[in-house]
Amino acid sequence: MSKILVIGEISDGKLNSGTAKVVAAAAQIKGDITVALFGADVSAAAADAAKLDGVTKVLKIESAANANPLAAVYAPQIVELAAGYSHVLFPGTAFGKDTAPRVAARLGVQQVSDIMVAHSPTSFDRPTYAGNAIVTVEAPAAPAIVATVRLASFTAVGSSANAAIESASSSAALPSHTRFVKLEAQKSERPDLQAAARVVSGGRALGSSDAFKIIYSLADKMGAAVGASRAAVDSGYVPNDMQVGQTGKIIAPELYVAAGISGAIQHLAGIKDARTIVAINKDAEAPIFEVADFGLVADLFTAVPELEGKL
Amino acid sequence: MKALVSVKRVVDYNVRVQVKSDGSGVITEGVKHSMNPFDEIAMEEAVRLKEKGKLTEIVAITIGGAKNEETLRSALAFGADRAIHIKEEGDVQPLTAARAFAAALKKEGAQVFFAGKQAIDDDANQTGQMVAALLDIAQATFASKVELDGGKAVVTREVDAGLETLEVDLPAVITTDLRLNEPRYLKLPDIMKAKKKPIETVTFADLGVEKGAALTISKTSAPPKRSKGIMVKTVDELVSALKSKGLV
């Protein structure tokens, strides 16, 4: 039977919602699931991880050195911990993408990036070419399989379990070549983009950060998170953490509203798994209409406020 | 101070790739190829640092068949001083590439290894981190700002929560994200000049690297297609459509 080590992610002291999706991927592989949490004090996150259905054990690896998620510092500890596990799974987030290859290389294994489906303990589907070609890969089982999980492909497991929480320590030698300086986090009262059931996104057509107000306003009316196209982020209308697409966040909300977004391949790669896509764009030829469930050719500056008013 | 910059030849980002009907891969024959866009950003950053006097030499490096020389010529036109072509016709997966790059980095004594954060063909996002792991040196991935100062680099990174800043000792691996810079447009005189710059050809064996175990790709398939939906004419129609589906 597989023994699966899930590397949990902690955001702002809490368990990141992606961890429950990585556990869902682990459940698809089938096996005994342990969640490992690294940090200075991970007790709150550990309590949440212990509730995740299918998890049998939560390991806390707490130390001052682990206070910030530095790949170079976490990797040797994860490599040490990985002995005895058949799989080491990371979330397909900036944290997971940064750390997993460092672990895979130290273990001497090729990594499987962005698992969409686990057909067996060693066979997985993953996206290439911005999701336009899906490859089925077979990974050597030994010494271990290291992978990241494409969060948009999995539904979070429930939280009715009660797994054991244990503390573990590491004797791995830690490097001093990498030092955390600061994190400038965007504080928002809105739902988290990667976990939200509804998302409203704006594109280049907004034309300024001031004009983005109508997007925020519609999102607040709908209880939605706010996203943006690469063009809108590049133009400085909104911060980078709002980018949706191949190289930004890949999301799977119930409802996605794209306003003034033309629908470049790279953007579509981030929204393919949305249940329903609504597109509002002035240009009837915009590629976004090819994937939209509901398309409206209109000027967003009139249509978006009107939509808000009629909801 | 010397920098090594890896550049990969990929299907151009504007091409809508087609999966072969027999599931053996995607159609790459007769399709426009260019330098991986993230690697262009890596090249641009190295050149700007050299222009600022922070770097003295830029060496571009690639792995692949004969056609990859085009990609190296582009790198030389950007401003690389010379290039290394690791000749290999077969499939090279990230850990294998990383082993070769790590060996070259050591041999060259370069202080910075620049790479795009991912290649837009396999979308793996692994090679830079693996180079750093193999050499046990620092990594700063997804960079949106890079400052080199003596034996250190201060790098701002695009992470899910916002922007994170790290200070790393050199040598280090830096992988580049979209907003680090806007790569220059290559001018004809630079393209002409690049033709005279040296390209050294080496093999995996020369670098003492074995390819090792790989993932086996058993099948390539097209993603499920989203069916084209309905065009509504007014906001009222849109609202009633969303209401009827219970979405609002």
**Residue A162 assigned ligand-binding role:** no
Q: Within a domain: residue A41?
A: yes
A92 and A151 share one domain: yes
B124 CB-contact burial (10 Å; exposed 0-12 / middle 13-18 / buried 19+): buried
Domain that holds residue B162: 2-244
Which A positions 24-53 lie with beta carbon below 8 A of chain B? none
Which B positions 104-143 lie with beta carbon below 8 A of chain A? 117-118, 120-130, 132-134, 136-142
CATH of the domain at A122: 3.40.50.620
What domain count does chain A have?
2
Q: Within a domain: residue A246?
A: yes
Q: Which residue of B lies nearest to A236 if distances are taken between CA atoms?
A: B179
- As a whole number of angstroms, the distance between CA A68 and CA B167 comes to 13
Cβ pair A247:B139 closer than 8 A: no
What domain count does chain B have?
1
A161 and A294 share one domain: no
Q: Within a domain: residue A190?
A: no
Cβ pair B159:A113 closer than 8 A: no
CATH of the domain at B58: 3.40.50.620
Q: What integer pLDDT is reported at residue A195 of this predicted model? A: 87
- ipTM of predicted assembly, 2 dp: 0.95
Structure tokens belonging to residue A201: 């996104």
**What does B70-117 look like in DSSP terms, one character per residue?**
HHHHHHHHHT-SEEEEEE--S---HHHHHHHHHHHHHHHT-SEEEEES
**Ranges of chain A whose pLDDT falls below 50:** none
Q: Which residue of A lies nearest to B123 if distances are taken between CA atoms?
A: A128
The residue to which tokens 């994860």 are assigned: A78
Is pLDDT at B212 greater than 90 in this prediction?
Answer: no
Q: What integer pLDDT is reported at residue A187 of this predicted model? A: 80
Q: What integer pLDDT is reported at residue B228 of this predicted model? A: 80
Q: Name beta bridge partners: A199.
A: A225, A256
Q: Name beta bridge partners: A182.
A: B165
Count CB atoms within 10 A of the CB of residue B172.
25
Q: What percentage of chain B has pLDDT greater than the value 70? A: 100
Domain boundary among A144, A167, A190: A167
Q: Name beta bridge partners: A136.
A: A125, B219
A96 and A211 share one domain: no
Cα dihedral across residues B14, B214, B142, B53: positive or negative: negative
Task: At B223, give phi and psi (nearest 5°).
Answer: -70, 155
Q: Within a domain: residue A193?
A: no
- As a whole number of angstroms, the distance between CA A17 and CA A151 comes to 10
- Which tens digit of pLDDT belongs to each residue from B38-93? 999 999 999 999 999 999 999 999 999 999 999 999 999 999 999 999 999 888 99
A305 and A232 share one domain: yes
A118 and A31 share one domain: yes
Q: Within a domain: residue A182?
A: no
Answer whether B13 touches A (CB < 8 Å). Answer: yes
Chain A CB contacts of B164 below 8 Å: 180, 182-184
A24 and A121 share one domain: yes
Confirm if A238 and A225 have CB atoms less than 8 A apart.
Answer: no
For residue A74, what are the contacts with CB-CB under 8 A and spacing of at least 6?
Answer: A7, A38, A66, A99
Domain that holds residue A103: 2-167
Q: Within a domain: residue A235?
A: yes
Q: Within a domain: residue A247?
A: yes
Chain B CB contacts of A139 below 8 Å: 215
A231 and A91 share one domain: no
Chain A CB contacts of B226 below 8 Å: 272, 277, 290-291, 293
Q: Within a domain: residue A303?
A: yes
- As a whole number of angstroms, the distance between CA A133 and CA A135 comes to 6
pTM over the 0.80 mark: yes
CATH of the domain at A273: 3.40.50.1220
Which B positions 91-110 lie with beta carbon below 8 A of chain A? 93-96, 98
A305 and A250 share one domain: yes
- As a whole number of angstroms, the distance between CA A127 and CA A115 comes to 8
Domain boundary among A167, A189, A223: A167
Q: What integer pLDDT is reported at residue A290 of this predicted model? A: 93
Rounded mean pLDDT of B194-211? 96
A130 and A203 share one domain: no
3 state DSSP class of A21:
helix
Structure tokens belonging to residue B86: 């690791």
